[in-house]
Structures are given as structure tokens and as C-alpha cells.
Amino acid sequence: MHPEAKKILVREEDINSRVKELGDLISRDYRDTDGLLVVGILKGAVIFMADLVRQLTIPVKLDFMAVSSYGKASESSGVVRILKDLEHNIQGKHLLIVEDIVDTGLTLKYLKENLETRGPASLKICTLLDKPARRKVNVEVNYNGFIIGDEFVVGYGLDYNERYRNEKSIFILKPEVYAS
């Protein structure tokens, strides 16, 4: 276990198993379409998205958005800024937003509203982690990896101050690491 981990929350084996299940479910749901545009939210969703798309058995295109609502803080500011927008035209396309964690819901609510104005055929959300105890706005998550409690977690793409993304498991970070 990482020395700054309070506790492992989701083991690597459990992540791999759940990502496979999500890939199977998404492939089934989109099997009668001409494919899916998978949009990863940088940087946290990259590892999850890479593993997820390798499980899909349908035609897939990839794109990315970068947004900021945290900065270097451990809590969302609630102000969402688009730092990198999509390169693909999404009008008439089936779109799947892939996120690492849904916390307050503010970022995803903003992104979903923004992207819906661009006319996709459908828009769904897939997240690795869902933290409903912190929700400030209602946002529908269509594909959910794990529901977790109100803990500060890192690993498997999730970071604190750009650290821990490369950890294979998800762990609760010791509070003294981020409480300064």
C-alpha cells in the first residue's frame, strides 16, 4: 500500500472486473448504432477511458475535453472553465462522456448542457466513481463503476496536485497530505 494511503478503497482486480462489465453493457446498448464518440474528460479519466474503450466491441471514435473546477484545491470551486474543447462535430452522433468521478455534479451538469446545445443524437455519462453524498445538482449517470462515500480518493487516474494518477488501485488519501 502507498505510504500516503489511509486505506485501499477499490483494488486493481475489482476495477478491471468492473471496467469489463461496463464495456459489455455499453457495447450492448450501442450495438444497433453506427458507433460511439467517447469523450474523455482530461486528465483524470484518461486511464479509465483507455481501459474502457479496449473493452468495447462497437465502432468507437475518441475525443477529449479539458475542464477545470478544482485547480490545486481538494474541493470543487463550482466554476467550470473549458480549457480544451472537442475536435469532432458531435451533431447527430451518439456521445458518451467518460469521467473519473462525479462529486458535486456541477462540472458534468455544465458539460452536459453545453454539449446538448450542439445536437448529438444521444448523450450519456459513464463514470468510474460516483460520490452521491456530495451532490449539489442533479445529474444522471448512465454507467457507474463504483458508488463511494465522502472520502478524498486518488489513484487510477485520480490525483491530488498531479500525483498518484499512476497507482493501480484507488485509495483514500491521508488527510494530512491534502489538509494544509
Per-residue pLDDT tens listing for the chain (180 residues): 789 999 999 999 999 999 999 999 999 999 999 999 999 999 999 999 999 999 999 999 999 999 887 555 555 556 788 999 999 999 999 999 999 999 999 989 999 999 999 999 999 999 999 999 999 999 999 999 999 999 999 999 999 999 999 999 999 999 999 886
pLDDT for 40 equals 97
Pairing of strands 5-10, 170-173: antiparallel
Domains of the chain, each with CATH number or no CATH: 12-150 (3.40.50.2020)
- Residue 18 corresponds to which amino acid? R
pTM: 0.91
DSSP-assigned letter for residue 87: S
Residues 67 and 43: beta-carbon distance below 8 Å: no
Residues 160 and 142: beta-carbon distance below 8 Å: no
Question: Where does residue 89 fall: left (phi above 0), alpha (psi -120 to 50 degrees), or beta otherwise?
Answer: beta
Rounded Cα distance, 26 and 55, in Å: 9
From 100, 103, 130, 150, active-site residue = 103
Catalytic residue check, 103: yes
164-169, Cβ contacts within 8 angstroms, sequence gap of 24 or more: 164/2, 164/4, 165/43, 165/44, 165/47, 167/2, 168/12, 168/15, 169/8, 169/9, 169/10, 169/11, 169/12, 169/15
